[in-house]
Amino acid sequence: MSAETTNRLILGLLVNPFAGLGGALAMKGSDGDALRERALTLSKEDRARSQGRAQRALSALKPYADLIHIVTCSGAMGAQVAAGMGFSVETVFSPDDVDHTSSDDTRAAVVAFRDYGVDMLLFAGGDGTARDVYDVLGQTLPVLGIPAGVKMHSGVFAVSPEAVGELLVGLVTGGLVSGNLREVRDIDEEAFRADRVKTRYYGDMWVPGEGLYLQQTKVAGRESQALVAADIAAWMADSLSPEVSYLMGPGSTVAAIMEALGLENTLLGVDIVKAGELVAADVDAQSLLDYANSHDHCRIVVTAIGGQGHIFGRGNQQFSPAVIRAVGVENISIVATRTKLAALEGRPLLVDTNDPDLDRSLYSVHTILTGYDDYLLYRVGPVGVLKDVNEAELHERQ
């Protein structure tokens, strides 16, 4: 560490170039050599997903570039993002194969950051990346995850790249930013692809930030309020129009709707239903887009992730920005139990589509189906939305 860096925040930056690439391909993860080979067939723009999200997180720090020294990896693992943004940048790790980076490279990079003496590690990835970071660091350094993966059950991620930026600005400018121990969890991808949710608790890491900026640890499994989910399913089943194609998202509440229709369901994937028939199962983003562009009257059906509140961007990246735009933001149905919404304690439902303009177009008061012909008005919005908004105000904002 040089004398020039001692008065700056020394920020380790790690980007997993493969993070999130499996989502649009309906691969439910990006771990494993075979899946990485398939991910390499994506376009250059699509493969830059995690780099783009890291850049969005760092954008808020550009006015404070002289107060930050970024220690990173070569190429797509970090240097490509930091270069040209005006930061002081130093490379301390280079992978042997820049096109086939692996978890071994992640762990080796984290060792290099630790040995350098970074103040905090910022990483773009998913649960697998968080697990690799934890394997090296444990609770020895504060970390903050830029959400970029398919699976993000862990509590070490911010709710969006922009939330990462807001937290880091607080650190750089001397704000009072709390520190919390947050869970690192990961899911068995093979079980995940077979529609079985098997998560494992790995440990806790120190994470800066407040509750509104950090995502909650995902609550896995089917709804405990089975009767309420059945009511939601019964109402939806009775209300579906034979003229509309329904793109049924992942989750137990949506699965209950499929069960009420007597249809097979991909619990952790996206299925297409029309006129009471299963048109296609476990569909990827491109196939959804092709279908939406060739069929009038499509509708997306999603539920909120328990504990987190995300309706887009966590485990359902098959609903890409292009798919959502093709269907239309006005053609989205959100289903959730009142218990699930109450557990958010006033926090808004969240969207993280990897398209900030689309996210902003979704910020609004939405009607949520919470039972049989039973609805609540609830806010979909950015971090920091005030929770004490009364129902009359919500009506006025529609």
Domain boundaries, the chain: 3-208, 226-397
At position 391, the amino acid (one-letter code) is E
* Architecture of the domain made up of 3-208: 3-Layer(aba) Sandwich (3.40)
Six-digit token string for 294: 């060739």
Provide the pLDDT for residue 386.
Answer: 38
Provide the pLDDT for residue 38.
Answer: 62
Q: What's the pTM value of the predicted model, to 2 decimals?
A: 0.71
The span from the CA of 187 to the CA of 260, in Å, is: 28
Six-digit token string for 227: 């009767």
Token pair 């009257």 is found at: 297
The span from the CA of 290 to the CA of 306, in Å, is: 30
DSSP secondary structure code for residue 66 in this structure = G
Rounded mean pLDDT for each run of 10 residues along the chain, 398 residues in total: 65 90 56 60 74 94 94 94 91 88 93 95 93 94 90 85 90 76 76 57 86 64 61 88 96 90 91 96 95 96 89 92 96 91 86 93 89 86 51 39
3-state secondary structure of 346: coil
**CB of 161 within 8 A of CB of 54?**
yes
